[in-house]
Amino acid sequence: MVEKTAEIIDGKAFAEKLRRRVADAVDQVQDAHGLTPGLAVVLLGEDPASQVYVRNKGKMTKEVGMASFEHRLPEDTTEEQLLTLVRGLNKNDEVHGILVQLPLPGHIRAERVLDAISPDKDVDGFHVINAGRLATGGADALVPCTPLGCLMLLKDKLGDLAGKRALVLGRSNIVGKPMAALLLRENCTVTIAHSKTEDLPGECRRADILVAAIGRERMVKGDWIKPGAAVIDVGINRIPAPEKGEGKTRLVGDVDFDEAVRVAGAITPVPGGVGPMTIAVLLRNTLVAACRQAGIEAPEI
Ligand code: GUN
């Protein structure tokens, strides 16, 4: 008998298509209104993973025809210096989106910095105003990029999500909470589970849609998954990979892919699933923010 395996959700291909649609829309607003959307990214310190993200953001911003502004500051930058930079970017008319790369060094209060970003330029969707707009169902919220990317993949695969049982594993402000709000907005029946949830496997097994964003490598096992469920794996965990050679590593998700792929109906791989969506959605958010600031309708993307 041929073993059944889940359909693989190709986030890399979807993100490429989304970036192409954003690039076309940027051409349109440039031609029609002389508007060049601009994205400013601020990075403090030398964290290698953050440096890779920021480099990729800058490259892809330029590829879609937007203006890219990079501010790399030393690790010992003070909170006041960072706030002064953010306030300057708020006033800069060439900048329509501002992203301060997280995590920030320990001496800086991230909430103070995120809330100093103008809500209209908050393309990360982390400002309390945007979080509040999303929580109250407002369609005009700027929505955090990773959960919005997950939702796009789910709608592309499943169509209408209304009435489906969704379980979000993880309750962070960056992924879990906004993901739950988005799924609720789609009329799912939403549960948020976390490290203190009783009978986590049982809760997961009830879900038609399972979004794992808990940051624990391969925690979700095959027998936690309802047969045929859609599984979105937000986790990016680096583990040793001695099979690739001494000292080598590889990336795995929060879901045990090899087990889950035999049970789920559809699943995102790691890498190549949710990861590539984040920057593509960031570019989409920047376009939307730029059009709103210019008082023009954003092209449909
Ligand atoms: N660090 C890791 N992911 C993100 C993100 O989506 N936005 C910001 N600002 N920092 C991050």
167 and 237, same domain (yes or no): yes
In a domain, 160, yes or no: yes
In a domain, 127, yes or no: no
| CATH label of the domain that carries residue 57 | 3.40.50.10860
- In the prediction, which pLDDT does 1 show? 56
Cβ-based neighbour number of residue 74 at 10 Å: 10
110 near 136, Cβ under 8 Å? no
Distance CA 107, CA 76 (A): 9
In a domain, 40, yes or no: yes
Ligand 1 atom with least separation from CA of 50: 1
Distance CA 97, CA 120 (A): 8
Q: Is 100 in the pocket of ligand 1 (CB under 6 A)?
A: yes
In a domain, 282, yes or no: no
In a domain, 14, yes or no: no
- In the prediction, which pLDDT does 72 show? 97
Catalytic pick among 101, 120, 122, 256: 101
**Domain containing 215: what range?**
144-276
Instruction: Read off the pTM.
Output: 0.97
114 and 157, same domain (yes or no): no
Q: Which among 289, 282, 278, 296 has a CA at the least distance from the CA of 28? A: 296
The parts of the chain modelled with pLDDT lower than 50 are none
Distance CA 290, CA 160 (A): 29
- In the prediction, which pLDDT does 139 show? 84
171 and 271, same domain (yes or no): yes
**Mean pLDDT, the chain, as a whole number?**
97
| CATH label of the domain that carries residue 163 | 3.40.50.720
Q: How many domains does the chain have?
A: 2
Distance (angstroms) between ligand 1 centre and the Cα of 202 equals 31
- In the prediction, which pLDDT does 3 show? 74
Distance CA 103, CA 85 (A): 17
